[in-house]
Chains A and B, each alone.
Chain A
Amino acid sequence: MRTAVKGIALNTFRESARNKVFYLLVFFGVLFALSSKLVSFLTLGDAMKVLKDTGLAAIHFFSALIAVFTGVNLVYKEIEKKTVLNILSKPVSRDQFIFGKFLGLALTMLVALAVMAGIFFVFVALNGGGFDPAIALYFLMLLLELLIIVAISLLFSSFTTPILSFIFTLSLYLIGHVMWTYNEFKVVLKAPLWRGFARFLYYLLPNLAKFNIKNEVVLGTPPGAWTVLLSILYALAYILALLCLTILIFRRREFS
């Protein structure tokens, strides 16, 4: 049982690791992070802040792109090219397949982020900056965000076409970063029905802004331990729910 999940996970990782697009995205993430040096030439005063701001923004942007791209692409290809038949015709349950896929995608994101984060820290050090544990905390939060994105893309891939999964996942990612606007909506919305609906959506849709602590971290005001803990708890619970839903849907899926 366990080796099947492990096998699927490792094979998923290997697929990314041998995919040119994946390398290209990691490469561009690194390139843009390094080009923050150029931007820092344009500023006066605290060049290190600009360097960190731009570098973290580049890593955030490209890692999110990798997550959406990889998440949608890997599952879609497996179904579209019918390699999934070779797996599910063996004693492997649908649950194991989904779980293995998620672990493989998680490993992919971990490695991609580790590479970019490592280069970022070296780059900061080369420019005379010290190691900032708060930035390491940001990378942890970013990883949680990426895992949620990957789980979302897995959910959509389990029942819809890749182009739709891509659009849905990307939309949820963008929406997830402005969910806090609900705090304003709830003041304005008077009708109880609309209020309830907004409230339902607020708690149902992924709320990703809490993982985006890069601004606070660079300004030297990292979030407190309690909010970090709540964020981690949120990520784990949300991913668990997504995986269960994906498995429920994927169990009913037919491969004709």
Chain B
Amino acid sequence: MPRRLLAVVALAGLLLAAGAQNRYDAVVDYFGDRAAFVSLPSGQTLKVLSFGFQNLAADMLFIWSIQFYSTYHITNRFEFLERVFEVITDITPTYKEPYIVGALIMVYEAKDIPMALRLLDKGARHNPGDWVFELDAGFYCYKYLKDFARAEAYYNRAAAQPGAPSFIRRMKAHMVYLRDDPQAATRMWLDIYRNAESTLERDSAFNHLYQIKAENDLPLLRDKIAVFRGRWGRWPDALPDLVRPGLLAALPRDFAGNDYIYDPQQGTVTAQRIFRWKKR
């Protein structure tokens, strides 16, 4: 056979094979028909089966799972979600991304926060000294579970890790504030305020302290103003009027040291700066 004809036949063979492949792909749904979750072996087994290539095996499974969980037309795709990430993290327990990404999928795709927390707990267990797992877990507790005490516990552990960024301490203080312990929160924020390493941190602590103090002082003032009006049938002319009859031992000032602003016409009292952190 002449050379040119051979080359043409070789090319034709390849094209024919490609065509067959193309038709084949059109028939076979790789994720539907062939999803192998049911027979996914345990992490231990996979470790053996990977013959020393467990990192590669974990990578492949991880990469595959990312693709799979972002294939939106498969409706029951979360059925084996926890198992898949359990297996991946069993094979390579110190590989961090699967914990983080798995938790993301569990929270935002599967909307199962306790599952994500279980995965992150496992990550923290296998990676002592690493704060990212507890940071993420704390955030999910705070944001989606509204369980501030649990979030505080996570942030507490995260902040204790070496090299943990300072904002974790601020998150923790905020959790304490959110779970209605202004005294403890004030103590923590003061500590942050005094030991601040940057103006950002300082300003943030200042703002929080201002807010907490205002939230403590303003109801007190309003209460005393109401008592004053009940006794004398009019609004006090100015805030010091509350001190003179002995309603208040001393006039509270805001965290910046300024007086709260009083409107004698309406009898209302406000702070100079108002911050509103949404509570619950």
Direct contact of A and B (CB under 8 A): yes
For B10, the closest partner residue in chain A by CB is: A244
Given contacts A240-B9, A241-B11, contact A230 B23 (CB under 8 A): yes
Please determine whether A233 and B13 come into contact, CB atoms closer than 8 angstroms.
Answer: no
Name the one of B10, B39, B60, B67 contacting A245, with C-beta atoms under 8 angstroms: B10
A226 beta carbon closer than 8 Å to chain B: yes
**Which residues of B from 96 to 135 have beta carbons under 8 Å from A?**
none
Given contacts A215-B39, A234-B17, contact A241 B24 (CB under 8 A): no
Q: Residue-by-residue, is A223-238 near B (CB-CB < 8 Å gives 1, otherwise 0)? A: 1101100110110011
**Which residues of A from 7 to 37 have beta carbons under 8 Å from B?**
none
- Count CB-based A-B contacts (< 8 Å): 80
Please determine whether A181 and B1 come into contact, CB atoms closer than 8 angstroms.
Answer: no
For A202, the closest partner residue in chain B by CB is: B21
How long is the Cα–Cα vector from A252 to B217 in the complex, in angstroms? 95
A215 cross-chain contacts in B, Cβ below 8 A: 36, 39
Interface size on B, as a range, is 20 to 34
A197 beta carbon closer than 8 Å to chain B: no
Q: Residue-by-residue, is B64-86 near A (CB-CB < 8 Å gives 1, otherwise 0)? A: 10010000000000000000000
**Which residues of A from 164 to 183 have beta carbons under 8 Å from B?**
178, 180-181, 183
Q: Residue-by-residue, is B204-225 near A (CB-CB < 8 Å gives 1, otherwise 0)? A: 0000000000000000000000
A241 cross-chain contacts in B, Cβ below 8 A: 9-14, 16-17
A179: min CB distance to chain B, Å = 9
B249 beta carbon closer than 8 Å to chain A: no
B244 cross-chain contacts in A, Cβ below 8 A: none
Given contacts A230-B20, A230-B24, A251-B3, contact A183 B30 (CB under 8 A): yes
How long is the Cα–Cα vector from A247 to B242 in the complex, in angstroms? 106
Name the one of A181, A231, A244 contacting B9, with C-beta atoms under 8 angstroms: A244
A247 cross-chain contacts in B, Cβ below 8 A: 1, 6
B274 cross-chain contacts in A, Cβ below 8 A: none
B63: min CB distance to chain A, Å = 8
For A223, the closest partner residue in chain B by CB is: B28
B197 beta carbon closer than 8 Å to chain A: no
Given contacts A180-B30, A241-B17, contact A95 B24 (CB under 8 A): no
Q: Residue-by-residue, is B1-35 near A (CB-CB < 8 Å gives 1, otherwise 0)? A: 10100110111111011101111110110100010
Please determine whether B14 and A238 come into contact, CB atoms closer than 8 angstroms.
Answer: yes
For B29, the closest partner residue in chain A by CB is: A183
How long is the Cα–Cα vector from A245 to B12 in the complex, in angstroms? 12
A122: min CB distance to chain B, Å = 26
How long is the Cα–Cα vector from A117 to B30 in the complex, in angstroms? 28
For A221, the closest partner residue in chain B by CB is: B33
How long is the Cα–Cα vector from A210 to B28 in the complex, in angstroms? 10
Please determine whether A238 and B17 come into contact, CB atoms closer than 8 angstroms.
Answer: yes
A240 cross-chain contacts in B, Cβ below 8 A: 9-10, 13, 16
How long is the Cα–Cα vector from A227 to B26 in the complex, in angstroms? 10
Please determine whether B7 and A207 come into contact, CB atoms closer than 8 angstroms.
Answer: no
Please determine whether B24 and A184 come into contact, CB atoms closer than 8 angstroms.
Answer: no
For A246, the closest partner residue in chain B by CB is: B10
Q: Residue-by-residue, is B22-58 near A (CB-CB < 8 Å gives 1, otherwise 0)? A: 1111011010001010010000000000000000000
B64: min CB distance to chain A, Å = 7
A114 beta carbon closer than 8 Å to chain B: no
A184 cross-chain contacts in B, Cβ below 8 A: 63-64, 67
A44: min CB distance to chain B, Å = 15
A154: min CB distance to chain B, Å = 14
How long is the Cα–Cα vector from A180 to B18 in the complex, in angstroms? 14
A126 beta carbon closer than 8 Å to chain B: no
B279: min CB distance to chain A, Å = 42
Please determine whether B30 and A231 come into contact, CB atoms closer than 8 angstroms.
Answer: no
How long is the Cα–Cα vector from A231 to B27 in the complex, in angstroms? 12
Please determine whether B21 and A234 come into contact, CB atoms closer than 8 angstroms.
Answer: yes
B13 cross-chain contacts in A, Cβ below 8 A: 237-242, 244
Which has the most chain A C-beta neighbours within 10 Å: B6, B13, B17? B17
Ordered by A's residue number, 28 sampled pairs between the chains whose C-beta atoms are within 8 Å are A95-B1, A180-B34, A202-B21, A203-B21, A203-B22, A216-B34, A223-B28, A227-B28, A230-B20, A233-B20, A234-B17, A237-B13, A237-B14, A238-B14, A238-B17, A240-B13, A241-B11, A241-B12, A241-B16, A242-B13, A244-B6, A244-B7, A244-B10, A247-B1, A247-B6, A248-B3, A248-B10, A251-B3
A interface residues (Cβ-Cβ under 8 A, vs B):
95, 178, 180-181, 183-184, 187-188, 202-204, 207, 210, 215-216, 223-224, 226-227, 230-231, 233-234, 237-242, 244-245, 247-248, 251
List the 4 closest A-B pairs by CB distance, nearest first: A241-B13, A244-B10, A237-B16, A203-B18
